[in-house]
Structure 1
Amino acid sequence: MSKPAPLIYDALTQETLVSDASKPAPSIRDSVLKTVLIVDDEQPARMRLKAMVDALDDYQVIAEAENGQQAMSANKRLNPDIVLLDIRMPEMDGLAAAAQLSEQDQPPAVIFCTAYDEHALAAFDAQAVGYLLKPVSRLQLVDNLAKAQSVNRSQLANLVPEPVGQRLSEKCLSVRTRSGHELLAVSEIRALIADKKYVSAYTPSREVLLDLSLKELEGRFPKQFHRVHRNALVAIRYIRGLEKCEDENGQSVIRLEGSDITPVVSRRHLPEIRRLLKAL
């Protein structure tokens, strides 16, 4: 059985680096293993993440850092594939570090690992590919590392900051899934339907529960969605027609491109929808 790689403490940057003379330098991009930098100001959190990553076959932790400044230094020297990044840290927090990392010619994939969920949209604005809440589970970590692998460096390099009017938070929704937070592109949503206290977003491939109310969504995306019922909004760009149900109620429903969902149109909103269809 081979011995684990010894840990070397870099006195210059105060980072812990993994060293193994029998292996090629971890900064070489063609390495079979995906290289990982762990950034957290709490040593127990770093140790826990490192143990979880070390247990996986396809990844190698090449450095640990205590704050954003150390993370920038380690990234410059080692060029990791993936950065597991805490948000609340001294000197330079994770959001500031991620924003700077995203501006690099060859940025790493960033996955936030934090105890606070209020930073989700800001995290995605900083070009993060994942957002995990502590304590991070093995399943969550594996899922997010897989997502990070699906985004190559050339794609990440093209994720340049957008103008204020084009912010990700204005084009996407942060949704909770079993693997943490993900971005759901508003352009993919066909309908938003409320059922009691829950609102579901329907795309061609899935249904996602949202934390926002229909009223909040209507106010946030007035140009993208139109109300057809007290419990339903539809994506204007995907409206393809209005049909009358062949039942005793004679209700009208909306046909949407790329979806089997046919939201009911209330009598109150029917004149508006007819005018909208004529204008499309």
Structure 2
Amino acid sequence: MNVVIVDDEPLARERLRRMIESFPGYAVVGEAGEGQAAIERVSELSPDAVLLDVHMPGIDGLQVARELAETDLPPAVIFVTAHSEHALSAHNSQADGYLLKPVRREDLAAALARARQPSRAQYAALAGHPEAGGPMGYISARTRDGIERVAIRDILYFWADQKYTSVFHLQGELLIEQSLSTLEQSLSDNFMRVHRKALVARAHVTGLKYNTDGSACLSLRQSEQYVPVSRRRLAEVRALLGS
């Protein structure tokens, strides 16, 4: 996990760097001492997370966080502050976490672990760039290798399993935490619910198959998997295929 540290105090940055680099799987890829430099460093380095001081000269941390949230793939933001009143502002800003100085090692480890999950802004990254020949946007998730992004037009179907949702796409599979209900609301123009556990891309459906027990399933383009169709959704799926 790649991290950028933003703090106007060099000793504070050095202390955070030492702690982060002692955690397996984490690396500090850059630092900044003020807000505008932080925005430029994040744009240049595309880190997974930013440790962001709230009170800095010039652009403060809250404004930096607001600007980062407007980017296509915003990093997770963890505010770091010496003032408890700023912690409340950081919390209310919908950051992915906040820490009070002096930062304790165990608190930092916990905050970074939480930041491995996709941020709220990344979950909202269904609004991407227009894609010719397909729906707009991307699905984003944080993986062991960083942030993985899949174009909506390349997704075959979503499959819900307990608290996670699997995204089956042309290049493989991705695991996210968004519910099918949330996805269905966002993607209703291009996807249809065919089962309580399945949301399928209309454009990738190639046929309807009946099993020997009378149940039905869908075949999808470039996939060997069949997606089950519930009895209550069967008429709607037939109508789609008929059109």
TM-score bracket for the superposition, by shorter chain length:
0.5 to 0.7
Assess if the C-alpha contact under 8 Å between 1:191 and 1:202 holds in 2.
yes
Change in Cα spacing, 1:44 to 1:112, as seen in structure 2 (3 Å) is farther
Matched AA of 2:127: R
Could you tell me how far apart the structure 2 residues matched to 1:40 and 1:184 are? 33
User: In the alignment, what sits opposite 2:201?
Assistant: 235
User: In the alignment, what sits opposite 1:197?
Assistant: 163
Change in Cα spacing, 1:266 to 1:178, as seen in structure 2 (3 Å) is same
Matched AA of 1:233: L
User: In the alignment, what sits opposite 2:186?
Assistant: 220
Could you tell me how far apart the structure 1 residues matched to 2:168 and 2:217 are? 16
Q: Which has the larger radius of gyration?
A: 1
User: In the alignment, what sits opposite 2:78?
Assistant: 115
The normalised TM-score by structure 2 is: 0.57
Change in Cα spacing, 1:226 to 1:113, as seen in structure 2 (3 Å) is closer
User: In the alignment, what sits opposite 2:232?
Assistant: 268
Matched AA of 2:13: R
Q: Deviations along 1:207-257, whole A, 9 cap, x unmatched? A: 222212111111121112101112111011111111122x3x132111111
Q: Deviations along 1:8-28, whole A, 9 cap, x unmatched? A: xxxxxxxxxxxxxxxxxxxxx
User: In the alignment, what sits opposite 1:39?
Assistant: 6
Aligned sequence identity (%): 31
Matched AA of 1:168: G
Q: How does 1:1-280 map to 2 (within 5 A)?
A: 39-41=6-8, 43=10, 46-47=13-14, 48-49=16-17, 64-71=31-38, 81-82=44-45, 85-87=50-52, 89-90=54-55, 91-93=59-61, 94-96=64-66, 98=68, 112=75, 114-115=77-78, 167-168=127-128, 171-245=137-211, 247=212, 249-279=213-243
Could you tell me how far apart the structure 2 residues matched to 1:213 and 1:233 are? 11
Change in Cα spacing, 1:230 to 1:45, as seen in structure 2 (3 Å) is farther
Assess if the C-alpha contact under 8 Å between 1:194 and 1:200 holds in 2.
yes
The normalised TM-score by structure 1 is: 0.51
Offset of residue 183 of structure 1: 3.1
Could you tell me how far apart the structure 2 residues matched to 1:179 and 1:44 are? 29
How many aligned positions are there?
A: 184
SS for the counterpart of 1:269 is helix
After superposition, the CA RMSD in angstroms is 4.1
Matched AA of 1:114: V
